[in-house]
Amino acid sequence: MSDQQRTACVALPTFRNDILNGIALCAGVGGLELGLHIAEPGYRTVCYVEREAFAAATLVARMEDEALDKAPLWSDVTTFDGQPWRGKVHILTGGYPCQPFSLAGRRRGENDPRHLWPQIKRIIGELDPEWCFFENVEGHMSLGADTVFRELRELGFTVKAGLFSALETGASQIRRRLFIVAHADKVPILHSDRVGAGELPVQDEGRCLSGGFTIWDRQGGTALDADLAADESMRCSADEAFQLPLFPPAPSQFERWAPILDVRPDLQPELFGLDNGLADRMDRSDAAGNGVVSLAAAYAWRTLKNAHLSLL
């Protein structure tokens, strides 16, 4: 970075991003979007694309209770046209289907009818965003990710990616996921008309840049900054008001559930299975299983964006 660029950055009154619009492809129940709202205070979703009925209904419910931005909801990524949004959107997000790559499936890759990366690539070309933010399962690293990285570079993006776990942000499960942050080479990252939250490099330990992307392969990271720190408190003293923890305890942690259920007996630790044979619970479990832990998404975005900034 030149001395003139440094002076311009220092002279800015705030490091707030007030104009940062995003489109969410394969939005699920909005985990990536919630993560970006945590990491980028000025972020706004302007359109969702999701075909699963339960997930789409959840997005509508979250829009109604104002947990998510109110925006149009398109039903099928294969028919979504990015051209009308060109020049209006800064970030394209997506949790495209994991079944072609998951270690729990047949791993048919490009031969799986649920393989939607070609559609994501098409929309990137139509939309021409500044940033792309994608999430998928760990198995994608050994099947298909090399194609995604290569084709993003062919589209004119620099790619940073890494494996991040929910455990790193305080959750009781590992849920390790591959996150990808790509930035358009033709757009200066630090430009005067839009300086985003977190664009100044933050301290980050234990990351290793290799081959143009980041590989992260350990649990229990300590590099969370204050904004992403998980609330670990489970018990309060007698003279303090009880507060629910940020993440629920694991089902087997009975001693940690006890004070929670004393105050909130309506909460349901899943001690006796996931579904009870009910269709709505099946949908709920399916959405949770495929979902993104929002704090992990926020942490991944900030860390990988910082990796881009380290190239300045």
- Per-residue pLDDT tens over the stretch 197-242: 333 333 333 333 333 333 333 333 333 333 333 333 333 344 456 7
- The pLDDT value recorded for residue 110 is 81
Hey, what are 272's tokens?
Answer: 């006796």
**Residue 274 to residue 290: CA distance in whole angstroms:** 14
CA quadruple 218, 221, 224, 228: dihedral sign: positive
- The pLDDT value recorded for residue 270 is 56
Percent of the chain at pLDDT exceeding 90: 44
Quick count: other Cβ atoms within 10 Å of Cβ 5? Answer: 14
pLDDT band at 71 (very low <50, low <70, confident <90, very high): very high
Active site residue 236: no
- The pLDDT value recorded for residue 142 is 86
**Residue 129 to residue 185: CA distance in whole angstroms:** 11
pLDDT tens-digit readout, 242-278: 778 888 787 777 788 888 888 888 876 655 455 555 5
Cα distances (angstroms) measured from residue 251 to each of 234, 255, 256, 265, 272? 14, 10, 10, 15, 9
- The pLDDT value recorded for residue 279 is 58
Quick count: other Cβ atoms within 10 Å of Cβ 265? Answer: 8
| pTM of the complete model | 0.74
Q: Average pLDDT of 144-163? A: 94
Put residue 66 in one of left, alpha, beta given phi > 0 → left and psi -120 to 50 → alpha. left
Nearest to 172 by CA among 300, 293, 312, 22: 293
Tell me if 147 sits within 8 A of 117, measured CB to CB. yes
Tell me if 26 sits within 8 A of 96, measured CB to CB. yes
Backbone phi, then psi, for 135, in 5-degree steps?
-140, 145
**Residue 228 to residue 302: CA distance in whole angstroms:** 10
Amino acid type, 45: T
**Residue 148 to residue 161: CA distance in whole angstroms:** 11
Catalytic option among 26, 98, 132, 236: 98
pLDDT tens-digit readout, 11-70: 333 334 457 899 999 999 999 999 999 999 899 999 999 999 989 999 999 999 999 999
